[in-house]
Structure 1
Amino acid sequence: MTLLRSVRLHIAFVITNLRGSGSDRVLLKTADGLIGLGHRVDIVLLTPGIRKPQEIPTAARPVLSESASDGELSI
């Protein structure tokens, strides 16, 4: 049994938004695969924008971050 199958992880992907780019599709496919292995997945968006919400895996949790005035990320 591989490590990814034997240990349940909580994984967070951070991306600017989900407006339909190629990187969005790769992230969503990867998230779906990890969920299929039993892991928890959060998708942290730095700016609002989800082009096709129906493509987000149902078990994934989209999270909108807030940027602090000094430029640091606050989740």
Structure 2
Amino acid sequence: MPLIVETDLKEVLTDISKQLEKIGDRLGRLETGQARIEEKLDSLDKRVEKLEGSQNKQIWTLIGIVGTALVGTVIRFVITSLPPS
């Protein structure tokens, strides 16, 4: 014997409508969260670019200091190795 369930179509449509509203609300919150995350990611990307630029400048400064020290050391040894006149 088949089971027959009688429900009002209006009730079913109301339940479906409520569920769709909940899904829409959740989707809206997800989209807002995604926008915030994208904004934070862009901010972090800019900060990393600044750090890379700063690091590059520091490396060239260090190379200059080491080069100057090396040239100074070579000149000192050349001058001290020359016989006195």
Greater RCO between the two (CA within 8 Å, min separation 6)?
1
Q: Which structure has the larger Rg over C-alpha atoms?
A: 2
Q: Same fold (TM over 0.5)?
A: no
Question: Relative to total residues, which structure has the larger helix share, 1 or 2?
Answer: 2
TM bin (shorter chain): under 0.3
TM-score (norm. length: structure 1): 0.24
Question: Relative to total residues, which structure has the larger strand share, 1 or 2?
Answer: 1
